[in-house]
Amino acid sequence: MSRDPFARRVSDLNDAPERSGAYVLYWMQQSQRAVCNHALEYAAQRAAEKRLPVVVGFGPTADYPEASARHYRFMLEGLRETGEALRERGIPFVVRLGRPTDVALDLGKDAAVIVCDRGYLAHLRQWRYDVARGAACRVVEVESDLVVPVEEASSKQEYAARTIRPKLHRRLREFLVPLDARKPQRQPAAGTPGGESLDDPDRLMEKLAPAAEPAAVPRFFTGGYRHARERLDRFISDRLPDYESARNEPGLDVGTGLSPYLHFGQISSLEVALAVGGAEFVAGLEAGSGTMSHARGSVGMRTASHAPASARDALLEELLVRRELAHNFVWYARGYDRYDCLPQWARATLQEHADDRRSYRYTDAQLVAAQTHDRHWNNAMREMRETGFMHNYMRMYWGKKIIEWTDDPEQAFARILRLNNRWFLDGRDANSYANVSWLFGLHDRPWTERPVFGKVRYMNAAGLERKFDMDRYQAKVDRLCAEARGAGRS
Ligand SMILES: Cc1cc2nc3c(=O)[nH]c(=O)nc-3n(C[C@H](O)[C@H](O)[C@H](O)COP(=O)(O)OP(=O)(O)OC[C@H]3O[C@@H](n4cnc5c(N)ncnc54)[C@H](O)[C@@H]3O)c2cc1C
């Protein structure tokens, strides 16, 4: 079995040869970090072999689909830190405003080879194909945002977590391996192309001029690897032991809070998986128990040895199985952002109930203003609106209720996706499309038939109140909103 960290992560996107050039270009797009980034390390390796410097290029576009100040601010904070970390390694980071493909092709004119990271959504794949078609040199893609590359895990769209789980588990020994950074580059590239300064994200925000609303949420999330790693370390030391038992409790925040950082590629899921004890998980799988008691640090920092193995396993189930199932979905399902991507049984049963009476109906404006009859839903919407985030269990409830309150399921699908991608900092992710589709039966099974939902799973307020302390959730959201107001947001 190969321990080459690039084996099966690298694929050529065109037939053009490598050539003599001024540098190896890593066109960064998805994996916006300097740490644990296979595309960056592969570029550094090719550069060392060719005795050339590496240049990293990035092209923030002013009109990224569905993005606003909330997303741009977080991304630019992360890029500023990435630029600093690259510079410490002697690697120039060239940021130019423009269409990402134009920036890549322009910087690629002097490159011996263009390395890019992998994007999973349709427009991100299209960008890479456009660069591969337009470039005069070899363009190579390196998978760096999944633990098991999507095509290695499965060659088809999977039905559910239960069908992809064994496939992922079988490949973990091969892919759940640390990635070492190469030594710093000795000579920065001579004649490095010029670009924008990242020192002042506010100035760059002015130039990009994204939609002002939803506004940035720096009080709750500051972008960048360092913040992600601090969150991860705090999670491991303080919350991981309770993750399995308490993660569903909406009034508590037992999760990692890493989804925005994973979405922008500011931390790698491989690093997170290793830090929580992924290597011991693999050893446990191989020993046939699924667990092992002697945890060893994986990335040289805090380890998860104090947490019960079942807590670690629960986190890895979300991070490895659910997250990679979502990527399997957007990779293989045509039209993953459309209602017709839903399973046939789900569409049929929803159709049968499309004319059922809706007890409540709300406009988008009423929803965003959190003015429904349902206080739990209103609190979830307030959490989303003010912080850019929402507890996982409440995301399910939030989406299910919009299905119940919208005239027909197809409209509900478009509406939920629109709100999800607009207000969440982690929106527009593979997880967004898979989870919104889950609300409508994807990766799930038929349940007892009932009005509006047919056989699609239903949720109600009584269930929330029976299982959880919903007053505690209300208090949490009140506190978060007060903090947001204190920070100048209404
Ligand atoms: C209706 C709905 C919409 C959602 N929209 C998004 C979205 O836009 N973006 C997004 O990243 N997630 C989305 N999720 C999935 C999940 O709610 C969030 O990833 C999670 O709440 C983020 O919190 P965390 O980082 O603390 O997660 P943790 O509990 O700490 O889990 C660690 C990581 O595992 C992954 N993960 C956790 N739960 C899931 C899940 N159900 N499916 C896939 N991966 C998961 C995430 O990458 C997460 O960061 C949605 C879920 C639902 C039900």
| 391 Cα nearest atom in ligand 1 | 21
Q: How far is the CA of 50 from the centre of ligand 1 (A)?
A: 41
pLDDT, residue 89, reads 92
For domain 146-177+224-332, the CATH class is mainly alpha
What CATH number belongs to 1-145?
3.40.50.620
Residue located nearest, by CA, to atom 33 of ligand 1: 319
Specify the ligand 1 atom closest to the Cα of 319.
34
> By three-state DSSP, how is residue 408 classified?
coil
- Cα–ligand 1 centroid distance for 393 (angstroms): 10
Q: Three-state SS for 26?
A: strand
Longest dimension (CA), the chain: 70
User: Which pLDDT value is given to residue 295?
Assistant: 35
Q: Which pLDDT does position 297 carry in this prediction? A: 34
The ligand 1 atom at the shortest distance from the C-alpha of residue 263 is 11
Question: Contact, 440 vs 337, CB < 8 A?
Answer: no
Closest ligand 1 atom number to CA of residue 436: 1
Q: pLDDT means per 10 residues in the chain (490 residues)? A: 80 96 97 98 95 95 89 97 95 95 97 98 97 98 98 98 98 95 68 86 92 95 98 97 96 97 98 95 83 38 72 97 98 96 98 97 97 98 98 98 97 98 98 98 98 98 98 98 78
Token reading at 351: 């159709």
* Closest Cα to atom 15 of ligand 1: 431
3-state secondary structure 138-150: EEEEECCCCCCCH
Amino acid in position 394? M
Ligand 1, atom 48: nearest CA belongs to which residue?
A: 259
- 174 token code pair: 């091969």
Any residues with CB less than 8 A from the CB of 327 and at least 6 apart, and which? 120, 146, 150, 430
Protein residue with its CA nearest to atom 49 in ligand 1 = 259
Mutate to test the pocket of ligand 1, among 259, 272, 323 (most ligand atoms within 8 A of CB): 259
Q: What is the pLDDT of residue 486?
A: 86
Packing angle, helices 69-88 and 225-234, rounded to 10: 100
Pick among 1.10.10.10, 3.40.640.10, 1.10.579.10, 3.40.30.160: CATH of 339-486 = 1.10.579.10
Q: Please tell me what DSSP assigns to residue 235.
A: I
Which residues fall within 8 angstroms of residue 125, CB to CB, at 6 or more apart? 119
The β-bridge partners of 450 are 454
Q: Which residues pair with 138 in a beta bridge?
A: 113
Say how many C-beta atoms besides its own lie within 10 A of residue 351's C-beta. 13
DSSP assignment letter at 478: H
What is the reported pTM? Answer: 0.96
In the chain, residues under CATH classification 1.10.579.10 are: 339-486
Cα gap 214→205, rounded to integer Å: 14
Lining ligand 1 with CB less than 6 A are 247, 255-259, 262-263, 318-319, 322-323, 326, 392, 395-396, 399, 420, 424, 426-427, 429, 431-432, 435-436, 439
What does residue 250 show for φ and ψ, rounded to 5 degrees? -65, -25
Residues 360, 366, 369: CA angle, nearest 5 degrees: 135
- State how far the Cα of 399 lies from the Cα of 413, in Å rounded to an integer: 9
Rounded to the nearest angstrom, the distance between the alpha carbon of 236 and the centre of ligand 1 is 18
Token couple for 116: 């890019």
Burial pattern 358-380, b for ≥16 Cβ within 10 A else e, equals eeeebeeeebbebebebebbbbb
What pLDDT is stored for residue 300 in this prediction? 37
